[in-house]
Structure 1
Amino acid sequence: MAVSSKQVLSLYKQLLEKAAKFDNYNFREYSKRRVRDAFKDNKNLSEEKSITEFYNKGIESLAQLHRQSTISQMFTFDKLVVEPLKQKHQ
Structure 2
Amino acid sequence: MSTVARTGESAGKVLSLYRQLLRQGNQFSSYNFREYAKRRTRDAFRENKNVEDPRQVQELVQKGLQNLQMLKDRLVVEGGLSGKDKEGGKLRQKDTGWD
- Please give the range of the TM-score, normalised by the shorter of the 2 chains: 0.7 to 0.9
Q: Are residues 1:25 and 2:31 paired?
A: yes
Q: Name 1:48's counterpart in structure 2.
A: 54
Percent identical pairs in the alignment equals 40
When the two chains are superposed, the root-mean-square deviation of aligned CA atoms in Å is 1.8
**Aligned-partner Cα distance in 2 for 1:26–1:19:** 11
Deviation at 1:65, TM superposition (A): 0.5
- Of the three residues 28, 35, 52, the one matched with 2:41 is 35
Q: Name 2:21's counterpart in structure 1.
A: 15
SS at match of 1:4: helix
Runs of 4+ aligned residues of structure 1 deviating over 3 Å after TM superposition are none
**Aligned-partner Cα distance in 1 for 2:31–2:68:** 19
In structure 1, runs of 5+ residues without a counterpart are 81-90
Tell me the number of residue pairs that the alignment of Structure 1 and Structure 2 aligns. Answer: 78
Normalising by structure 2, we get a TM-score of 0.72
Contact 1:22-1:69 within 8 A present in 2 as well: yes
Q: Are residues 1:67 and 2:73 paired?
A: yes
Deviation at 1:51, TM superposition (A): 0.2
